[in-house]
Amino acid sequence: MIEMITNVNSAVNNVVWGWPALILLGFTGVLMTSMTGFFQLSHLGHWLKNTIGSIFSDRNITRHTEDRSISQFQSLCTALAATVGTGNIVGVAGAIAVGGPGAVFWMWLIAFFGMMTNYSENVLGILYRRKNSKDEWAGGAMYYLKDGLGERKGCKKLGAGLAVLFSCFCLLASFGIGNMSQVNSMVSNVYTAFGIPKLATGIFLFVAVSLVVIGGLKRIAAITEKVVPFMVLLYLLGTLVIIGMNISTIPAVFVSIFKGAFAMKSVGGGIVGSGIALAMKMGMKRGVFSNEAGLGSSVMVHSSSNVKEPVRQGMWGIFEVFADTIIVCTLTALTILSSGALDLTTGQLTGEAAAIESSALVSYAFGNHFGFLGSAFVAVAILLFAYSTVLGWSHYGATACEYLFGTGATKIYRMVFAVVVLAGSVMKAQLAWDISDTFNGLMMLPNLIGVITLSPVVMRCTKNYVARNLHGKDVEPMLSMFPEIQKMQEEALKEELREDADAAAKAYGEASDSVVKG
């Protein structure tokens, strides 16, 4: 049975992750980047100020809501919880082991354009979201496929069909990328570091996941906004320490990355890595596995936020990819490449590193520098990363389930999702990863069709936002594609602006009083 599943999955995987699909993924990123005027670069300061910078200056970003929506910061943390997972550790290690150092370059490139793919998904998600029977925001690729693509002349059935396909693939993917592969990595690393039986860890995770997931999005968001910042900062600190200890090798590391990306010869005459095609394919696949730009996944939680402006949530999507791949994945890669695990002149694994599984390369790097404590640190990091990913993906699967079967079915889904945690703890690692790869690709295809078709909508919305907020023009805001929601959001946006103005006036008055008294 396992052999049959492996063979079928391999055949499908070769199609959905073949060069045509990868070219489509890259094309979408390039298209959205050009149509928005290279927004990720031309408005770099603006989106940084209005994402990570606003956490410390805008109370609306972090303020908890009284209704069933979540804050913008909670939506980011939940999205990052789902993206910053084992892909950032195990996925990067696997890409380097198979594709050589050059895979890192292609990971960067797909992330650069992926920023605008993720941005576009979020903008569309907010524009086409609706309220469900529980008065919660419901949005995602399935909604802009049905109500966006489906509204095009002659595309009603196509849009509805792709929406159902996307939801089915997302539902299945939530058990793969969002559950089994994450759990498998957790139990394997805990067993390697501490000798704890895999099933025992699986039972513990089953309980830990059940207690949060069954409580719904509000409970998931409450946990992720506390766990995600802590785990990311802790892991980054650990990688920076190792990079600092090997700082003299960093120039050679970057040389090997760029040479390996284009299969250039090293100083010693050998080819760095495994060839340009393999480096490109592994870098792109693992890059998407890590940041999920193009899958249409994180938009489902971004659409649940209390944001009014679609472009503001789109900017969180840019930051999400930036934080996930440009920062976290890069530091993971530098940690591995500077640790001596690879020969930087050939790109091949060396010594003990050649004898271990690629998934253990980060643990090997930390262990080389800190002994048992280093390996234990990585095991704990993977545990936190993967646990948060499972929580985030449970919401994606629940959203797909709701679209297909209604809100009542989500309770059953969450219970089944928790039980699958146990299956992931005893499953073969390679099969879990292969299945995850396949479902990723299957989700990606209908979503990218939707994004490309609706790219003019994203462009208009972006121009509308820039005209109003950057150039001060008095034009009607573009907040929703549905008149009743547009009107509701316009009123909410006006109220938000009034509150901000009152708060600013109050702060100015208090400052003036203090100056007079002084």
Q: Report whether pLDDT(17) > 80.
A: no
Kindly tell me if the per-residue pLDDT of 248 is higher than 90: yes
Q: CB under 8 Å to 119, separation ≥6 — which residues?
A: 32, 36, 39, 40, 314, 315, 317, 318, 458
Q: Quick one: tokens of 330?
A: 């890069």
- Does residue 271 carry a pLDDT above 50? no
| 272 pLDDT above the threshold of 60 | no
Tokens 């989106």 -> residue: 47
Residue 348, beta-bridge partner list: 343
Least confident of 54-68, 159-173, 265-279, 441-455: 265-279
Average pLDDT, integer, range 492-516? 67
Does 466 have pLDDT greater than 70?
A: yes
| Residue 300 backbone dihedrals phi, psi, to 5 degrees | -70, -30
pTM of the model: 0.86
In the block, tokens 């802590």 appear at 230
Q: pLDDT tens digits, residue range 123-142?
A: 999 999 998 877 788 889 99
C-alpha 379/C-alpha 356 separation (Å) is 16
Euclidean distance between CA atoms 325 and 267, whole angstroms = 29
Q: Is 62 exposed, middle or buried (0-12, 13-18, 19+ CB in 10 A)?
A: middle
* Top-confidence residue, 267 or 357: 357
Residue 298's pLDDT band (boundaries 50, 70, 90)? Answer: confident
Query: Residue 291 above 70 pLDDT?
Result: yes
The pLDDT tens digits of the residues spanning 137-162 come to 888 999 999 999 999 988 999 999 99
For residue 445, give both structure tokens: 């295809």
Tens of pLDDT, residues 29-74? 999 999 999 999 999 999 999 888 877 766 666 665 555 566 666 6
DSSP state of 17: T
Using alpha carbons, select from 127, 9, 27, 145 the residue that is nearest to residue 446: 145
Per-residue pLDDT band for 265 (boundaries 50, 70, 90) equals very low
What is the average pLDDT across 444-461? 95
Contacts of 247 (CB under 8 A, 6+ apart): none
pLDDT number for residue 509? 65
| Average pLDDT, integer, range 352-370 | 76
Of 250 and 262, which is predicted with more confidence? 250
| More confident of the two residues 46 and 353 | 46
Mean pLDDT of 495-511: 66
The CA distance from 507 to 109, in Å, is: 44
Q: Helix (H, G, I), strand (E, B), or coil: what is residue 265?
A: strand
Q: What is the CA radius of gyration of the chain?
A: 23
In whole angstroms, give the CA distance from residue 291 to residue 319.
11
Instruction: Quickly state the pLDDT bin for 122 (edges 50, 70, 90).
Output: very high
Measured between alpha carbons, how far is 396 from 122 in angstroms, rounded to an integer? 14
Q: Return the percentage of the chain with pLDDT > 90, whole number.
A: 29
The pLDDT of 355-371, averaged and rounded, is 78
pLDDT at position 357, please? 66
Q: Give the tens place of pLDDT for each residue, 301-322.
A: 888 888 889 999 999 899 989 9
pLDDT of residue 218: 72
| pLDDT at position 512 | 58
Maximum average pLDDT range among 188-202, 233-247, 375-389, 415-429: 233-247
DSSP helix/strand/coil, 269? coil
Q: What is the mean pLDDT of residues 370-393?
A: 83
Q: How confident is the model at residue 251 (pLDDT cuts 50, 70, 90)?
A: very high
| Cα–Cα distance for residue pair 302/300, rounded to 1 Å | 6
Band (pLDDT 50/70/90 cuts) for residue 266 is: very low
Q: What mean pLDDT is predicted for residues 490-514? A: 69
Q: Do 105 and 261 contact (CB within 8 A), yes or no?
A: yes
State the Cα angle at 296 between 292 and 301, rounded to 5°.
90
**Residue 405 contacts residue 172 (beta carbons within 8 Å):** no
Distances 424 to 118, 133, 262, 392 between C-alpha atoms, Å: 28, 33, 37, 17
Phi-psi map region of 58: left, alpha, beta (phi>0 left; psi -120 to 50 alpha): beta
In this predicted structure, what is the pLDDT of residue 431? 65
- Whether the per-residue pLDDT at 516 is higher than 80: the answer is no
Confidence of residue 467 (pLDDT cuts 50, 70, 90): very high
Using the CB atoms, write b or e for 116-150: b if 16+ within 10 Å: bbbbbbbbbbbbbbeebeeebbbbbbbbbbbbbbb
Q: Which of 82-91, 217-226, 450-459, 503-512 has the lowest mean pLDDT?
A: 503-512
Mean pLDDT estimate for the chain: 83
Q: Strand, helix or coil at 151?
A: helix
